[in-house]
Structure formats: structure tokens, C-alpha cells
Amino acid sequence: MKLVIIGDALVSSATLRDAAKDIDFPGRDESELDVVSYEWYSDLEKEKFQEKILLIEKNGPEAVEIPAGVTEALKDADYLLVHIAPVSKSMLESASKLKLIGTCRGGLEHIALNSVKEKNITLIHVIRNAEPVADFTLSLMYAETRNIARAHHEIKNGKWRKSFSNDEHKTVLANHTVGLIGLGYIGKLVAKRLNALGVRVIAHDPFIDKSLIIKEGLRVELLDMDSVISQSDILSLHMRLTPETENIINKDVFNKMKAGSYIINTARAGMVHKADLIDALKNRRIAGAALDVSWDEPISPDDPLLQLDNVTLTPHIAGDTIDAIPKAPYLLKTVLNDYFKTGHSDMLIIQ
């Protein structure tokens, strides 16, 4: 039985190997596990490595180099574990025995998904920063609806500003209805936090079984998308970016939202039609927006979003905590062991 591991500048192959020691791969008792490790730009400084990540997130796994020797190693590999190293079409073409890919991150831009489906390879991921992103999502709700960030900005610039464009809509969070578009792992964590705060939560996710939500003890009303859009005071996005979800939040959506409503995005910028969002904010069609993701990172100094006084922007840091990434391989270990034991997983993408 052969396992190929590819580490990188954020999650080393040594950490992945350590976590793999306790993964109960099927048949491991009868066969010795041969582990082969590779590194993908592990020697780069964090800032330079982020450039590689952006290339993958924008253009997919074919846009970057793959580790030397890994294609050959995959020819007789049974399992592959990575963080954000590319899993390209050319790599998978050689992987005739590969049964499963495990990746310890939420986004899947680094994986050639069509090739994975064509070869019937099981794909499991973990959202390593789900807790930090859920916390940050709530933070953005408070920051935007109560003008926390912009009030701070004004004070730093010598102004004692106490009046803002959303004054007629300001109220406590518990008076808002929060709509979640996407009720996956992060969406559920956001709902759990909102439940504890006594906030009404509605959601749309065509892939969620209502009985499972009830079983998990979440108080969430599952509605069609139009109902969630029209009833929400705060609309928070928690979908994956796919060809089907690209620009799904557009002019039609903004026209259906309440006049005093807000949109929160800690997922992917591409799900929102940028020009339509800017138009909705400029014309006060909605009260405001809080975005941790941008269409271009870093954001351009002449970006029109920077001229608006009803948007809160952060530089894609929702999941950036000291413990989220280092713990990711061990979270993947737990998820894989659960999958091998039960045959089911919330983190299963392809089977």
C-alpha cells in the first residue's frame, strides 16, 4: 500500500506524515504502508508563497509547476494527501491505482476536479479554518451594521463622526433575520453562533437534508433562495465557487433584497457580480456590505469600492489564526478515519 504526501510552505510533509501515522487506511493491517513525501515550494517565504496560492485560486492546478518526480510516484500510489499543492490533470493521468485524495483545506481550486470524477477517485477535504471563518463572519456583521471599522477609521483621521449612512436601519443583531446561502460546515457553525445569540436564521442549500439539521440541533428554517433573499436583513454567503455559482449574487438579487439589508462575504468574491454590487451600494439599494474577499488581491488603489462609505473591507484574513493551518492535517486524519469507519462524511466531495 502506497501513500504519496505533498507538503508546502504552510503545511510541511513532515506534519502530514505525522498525522498519517494514525490514519486507518483500509487494509493497512495486512499491508505495510509505504510513504513517499514531496515538497511544493516549502522553502518560499509566506509572502512569495501567497503568490503561488493566488495563481492556483485564479487559474487552477494547471497554472503552477508540480513537484519533480511526483507524477512517477503516483503511478502505483493508493492514496494522496496534500494541503494546497496542485493535483493536476497530468498527475492524475498517471495515477492508475489511486483510490482517495485527502486535502486539508476547504477550497478545491488546486485539484483537477473533472479528472477526479472521471477516474472515480474519492475526494475528501476539511475546512481547517471553519471556526475562525465563522467567528470572523459574525465580526463582520457587527462591524458593518454598527459602523465599528469606519468609526475607528474616522477617529484615526481626526474626525469624531457619529452619523452614518445606515442610521435609519441601525439596531441590535437579535432584531435582524440572517440568511445563509450555503449551509455546509462553515454555514452551520455560523448558524450555531447566531442561535446562541437569539437571532432568527434562515438558509438556502439544495444539498442539505432538513432532518440532519434538526438532528444536529440547529434552529434554521430552510427556504427557497428567493425567500431567503427577500426576508434577510443580513445575507451571508457560504457557497463554493463553481461555474454554477459564479456571479450568482447579481442585480436581480440586490433588487429583491430589503432596502436596509446587508451582504457579508467570507467565501469567494467571484460569487458576487462586482459591478452590480457597487451599483447597489452607491444607490443605497442595500445598506451595506462587508467583504473579506476581493476580485483582485491585493485590491487596486483605484478600486471603486474604496470610495464607498457603506462597505467594510478586510484582506482575506477570516481564516488566519495561529492554530488553524498547523492543526489541519490532524483534522484531516480524524475526518478520514470517520469516513473509513462509516462510509459517510460531511467533507466528502466526490465518491
- Same domain, yes or no: 93 and 197: no
Domain identity same for 297 and 331: no
Shared domain for 120 and 233, answered yes or no, is: no
Question: Residue 345 falls within a domain, yes or no?
Answer: yes
Is residue 109, in this structure, part of any structural domain at all?
yes
Q: What is the CATH number of the domain that holds 180?
A: 3.40.50.720
Domain region containing 216: 130-313
Give the three-class secondary structure for 257. Answer: coil
Whether residue 11 is found in the same domain as residue 116? yes
- Whether residues 121 and 150 fall in one domain: no
The answer to whether 316 is a known catalytic residue is yes
Query: Is 238 assigned a catalytic role?
Result: no
C-alpha to C-alpha distance for 334 and 126, rounded to whole angstroms: 10
pLDDT tens per residue across all 351 residues of the chain? 999 999 999 999 999 999 999 999 998 877 789 999 999 999 999 889 989 998 998 899 999 999 999 999 999 999 999 999 999 999 999 999 999 999 998 889 999 999 999 999 999 998 878 899 999 999 999 999 999 999 999 999 999 999 999 999 999 999 999 999 999 889 999 999 999 999 999 999 998 888 888 888 999 999 999 999 999 999 999 998 889 999 999 999 999 999 999 999 999 999 999 999 999 999 999 999 999 999 998 999 999 999 999 999 999 999 888 888 888 999 999 999 989 998 887 777 776
Q: Are residues 115 and 236 in the same domain?
A: no
In a domain, 319, yes or no: no
- The residue among 31, 32, 33, 51 whose CA lies nearest residue 41 is 51
190 and 250 inside one domain: yes
Burial of 297 by CB count in 10 Å (0-12 exposed, 13-18 middle, 19+ buried)?
A: middle
Beta strands (DSSP E) in the chain are 2-8, 34-40, 79-82, 100-103, 122-125, 177-181, 200-204, 221-222, 234-237, 262-265, 288-291, 311-313, 348-350
CA distances from 151 to 155, 157, 160, 166, 173 (A): 6, 10, 8, 13, 18
Tell me: do 292 and 166 sit in the same domain.
yes
Same domain? 191 vs 266: yes
Total number of domains in the chain = 2
- Parallel/antiparallel/unpaired status of strands 288-291 and 311-313: parallel
**Three-state DSSP string of 163-202:** CCCCHHHCCCHHHCEEEEECCCHHHHHHHHHHHHCCCEEE
CA 11 to chain centre: 17
Q: Is 268 a catalytic residue?
A: yes
The reply to whether 272 and 344 lie within a common domain is: no
From the CB of residue 310, how many other CB atoms can be counted at a distance below 10 Å?
A: 20
45 and 22 part of one domain: yes
- Residue 176 falls within a domain, yes or no? yes
Q: Are 116 and 137 found together in one domain?
A: no
Domain annotation covers residue 344? yes
| Cα 213 off chain centre by | 20
The catalytically annotated residue of 110, 204, 238, 316 is: 316
Which listed residue (83, 110, 128, 268) is catalytic?
268
pLDDT value at residue 185 = 85
